[in-house]
Amino acid sequence: GAALAGTAVLTAALWQGLTLRRYALHTDKLSAPVRLLLLTDLHSTFYGRAQRGLLSAIQAQTPDAVLLAGDMADDSRGDAGGDALMSALGGAYPCCYVSGNHEVRTGCLDALKRRFRSWGITVLEGSGTLLATPGGTLRICGVDDPSAFAGESGWLEQFRACQALTGDSRYTVLLSHRPERTECYRDSGFDLVVSGHAHGGQFRLPFVGGIAAPGQGLFPKYDDGLYTEAGTSMLVSRGVGNSLFPFRVNNRPEIVVAELRPSVHEST
């Protein structure tokens, strides 16, 4: 009995099946609900032939837009898995993309971005785009991964260029691969920041959380879920693939849905 129970617990902990997580965020900047789907850290992983498993899971959510927050391709796995997904998504939904560190490591980031653009994906590089939705116009901004620059000033320049677009009545989202840069994100004027990179801490312990994340070290603070600090919310996805470690523990790969809902004001 104990052995069977132990096996069941271990099987559950090592289960690598795709899961879906939803978050509701309220805002008075939108007049009707808007559904954003966040995908990060695919690392060229395949979910079925031509990514059919992943694409059908995305389709079932009927998103108003798909946000791709880096590491869709991978420097050690090649581009096939990333290309299969991105080429299909680009024609199906409004999509916005920013680079991650593994795409910078391929040494072919510019070529990668050209391909993504050719499939109809908006590549953000210290820039913003307006997105018409049933709830009103959203602004989606994005910055390249910091590793794309020789020094810190290049990334900050992109970040500030995006920040300069905030401050009006439009709900504004920032795509930025790395969640640990909260010093910049908090109180920044962005309503929502979406990130990945931490892979949920890779191995998760009950009541403890993630064990380690790049850029944050042991027991990372920002590795999974929704954080709100000084007026800015940050949504960190565990990602849909693996890079250095081939498996996860208590940490299923995930598609994240951010449901933006109009705030309900009591009538007086």
Count Cα neighbours of 46 within 13 Å in the Cβ-side half-sphere.
Answer: 9
Structure tokens at 41: 């850290």
Helix ranges restricted to H, the chain: 2-14, 52-59, 80-92, 101-105, 109-118, 152-163, 182-185
Predicted confidence (pLDDT) per residue in 127-167, tens digit: 999 999 999 999 999 999 999 999 889 999 999 999 999 98
- 167, 42 contact by CB (below 8 A): no
Q: With 0.85 as the threshold, say if the pTM is over it.
A: yes
Residue among 234, 229, 204, 241 nearest 219 (CA): 204
Compute the C-alpha angle 201/207/211, nearest 5°.
Answer: 25
Segment holding 79, helix H or strand E:
none
- 102, 243 contact by CB (below 8 A): yes
Predicted confidence (pLDDT) per residue in 207-266, tens digit: 777 777 777 778 667 777 898 887 889 999 888 876 555 655 566 788 999 999 998 765
